[in-house]
A and B are shown apart, each in its own frame.
Chain A
């Protein structure tokens, strides 16, 4: 009885492993297409040949004097907005979670409403505001806009986190004479750190990959990577090779970051977000 049960178990495990690997292979196929296209010789870019001589021509084609500048711009903008988002969303999410005040429900609905805003709706007003404020084509314009957009996401994530931090710890700290802010910094943030890391990384990724806002708020000086890559859609056709190469390069920073906090993504989300 026990033996056959174990055999059934291992057969089941094998089946599950096979299914998982198969699912992964199918799911990763588009990624496979991108990566192979980046390393194919340019003339073979769109052909689905699997055997080819790997070449770095696409990367060379993609690179131009502007590229380094765009990379730096993207880094600065993404980290700037991630930093701002982290700081402010921590404060706001903590407040939404702990304090009871009038208008709390309305604020929640307001945040959801802002979340539902399609980008097309506020592209023109953003441009008008930013150029009137004189911050067009500076990092600040893009950072501010992205911060606002990513805050809605971060606040949602972090609020559930702070909800899961037991209140008793804070209460005892406050009895011991700790101020509200002190409680936040010394107790709640460390406890919710995984979630904060998650929110920061997601915010970085969203800003890094953003196109619609970037194209409106950046010009020659602060062009970001997505805008740079979109230039490969030329009138004589889409240059698949350099585009794929560009995508591969632009994934690297986000991938590294995600790997760094990989443990925390799941732990982080499981701490609170799932409780609904």
Chain B
């Protein structure tokens, strides 16, 4: 409905004022800094203009490119894991007949979202510690299994981090997919059953296509959120055995706050925003957003 020109502006002003002032201006500050040679130890280095040097260094920095790859691996594994488990849980709860159980499950499954990510990361650290102190290892020892060194090898450390983040992310996936399942009218399922389409077949031919739009938008949103993951990696593995879990955000953080290369870190942050934006732009074309 095209009406008064002023209306959209008024409505949007409040929200975008906040976003622009707090986030976009901060972004611009970072952007400007990324062209300087700001090294925390060099006095006045924030006024030195170095052009694209920081970006050039980033291109050749093997640790940075490695961290990008690690980020992608992490996101890929996480998305697959979280979507599968979330979908499984949603289907499970949807198929439950006892109303009380449904309510209980719905409530309890949203609890992990409410725990501070710092705290839950510490809990996962405690659970997966090597030696007898780790909770999981202690459980295993009751069954006579030797303690496993979860954090020792790159692959399993990545697994632990994926699990830790999944614990926080699955409730969200579950909620959305469960809601999507609720929306599907019951007669669709009933007529499918009459036609003899049950179980796995029903899943494949009926449920999944109906869920597809929800899953698509969910994937994008989760991917963007996963890109920002920091707490589990920082607390559980600190970058992991030999950089195995050093994701891009962790490396950017370290360059700024541990090594003091602020300008370089700003350049990396710019790149870190660019990549998901480009990916979103590409995928948004296929999904009505």
Contacts and interface: CB of A to CB of B under 8 A. Distances in A.
A133 B180 CA distance: 45
B160 interface: no
A138 to B, nearest CB: 15
Instruction: Assign chain A's interface to a size class.
Output: 35 or more
A265 B175 contact: yes
Contacts of B213: 274-276
B230 interface: yes
B119 A118 contact: no
A113 interface: yes
A11 to B, nearest CB: 12
A154 to B, nearest CB: 9
Given A20-B101, A238-B122, A255-B114, A99 B8 contact: yes
A30 B18 CA distance: 37
SS of A interface (majority): helix
B72 to A, nearest CB: 14
A156 interface: yes
Interface stretch (A52-60, A62-70, A119-127): A119-127
A167 B1 CA distance: 10
Nearest to A269: B179
Contact of B27 (A16, A21, A24, A122): A122
Contacts of B105: 20, 24
A177 B160 CA distance: 59
B52 interface: no
A46 B230 CA distance: 25
B84 interface: no
Contacts of B4: 180
B119 A34 contact: yes
A152 B224 CA distance: 12
A128 B29 contact: yes
A255 B11 contact: no
A145 B183 CA distance: 35
A72 interface: no
A220 to B, nearest CB: 20
Nearest to A21: B101
B217 A276 contact: yes
Given A114-B23, A118-B252, A266 B1 contact: no
Interface stretch (B56-64, B92-100, B151-159): B92-100
B3 A180 contact: yes
Interface in B245-289: 249, 252-253, 256, 262, 265-266, 269-270, 272-273, 276-277, 280-281, 284, 287-289
A71 interface: no
B116 A226 contact: yes
Interface in A221-246: 226, 229-230, 238, 240, 243, 246
A252 B23 CA distance: 30
B79 interface: no
B244 interface: no
A98 B206 CA distance: 32
A81 to B, nearest CB: 10
A254 B214 CA distance: 26
Nearest to A101: B8
A89 interface: yes
Contacts of B231: 211
Nearest to A114: B23
Contact of B272 (A121, A144, A147): A121
Interface string A93-128: 011101111000001110111111111111011101
B236 interface: no
Given A19-B92, A116-B273, A98 B25 contact: no
Contact of A247 (B15, B25, B115): B115
A82 interface: no
Given A114-B24, A265-B110, A276 B18 contact: no
Contacts of B272: 118, 121
B71 to A, nearest CB: 10
A33 B135 contact: yes
Nearest to B251: A120
Contacts of A99: 1-3, 7-8, 11
B208 to A, nearest CB: 14
Contacts of B266: 121
B175 A30 contact: no
A75 B288 CA distance: 37
Nearest to A250: B116
Contact of B19 (A48, A151, A180, A209): A151
Given A16-B96, A98-B1, A151-B15, A126 B26 contact: yes
8 contacts: A48-B139, A109-B280, A118-B273, A120-B265, A124-B29, A129-B26, A149-B23, A273-B179
Interface of A: 13, 16-17, 19-21, 23-24, 27-28, 30-31, 33-34, 46-48, 84, 87-89, 91-92, 94-96, 98-101, 107-109, 111-122, 124-126, 128-129, 144-145, 147-149, 151-152, 155-156, 167, 171, 180, 205, 209, 211-212, 226, 229-230, 238, 240, 243, 246-247, 250-251, 254-255, 258-259, 262, 265-270, 273-276
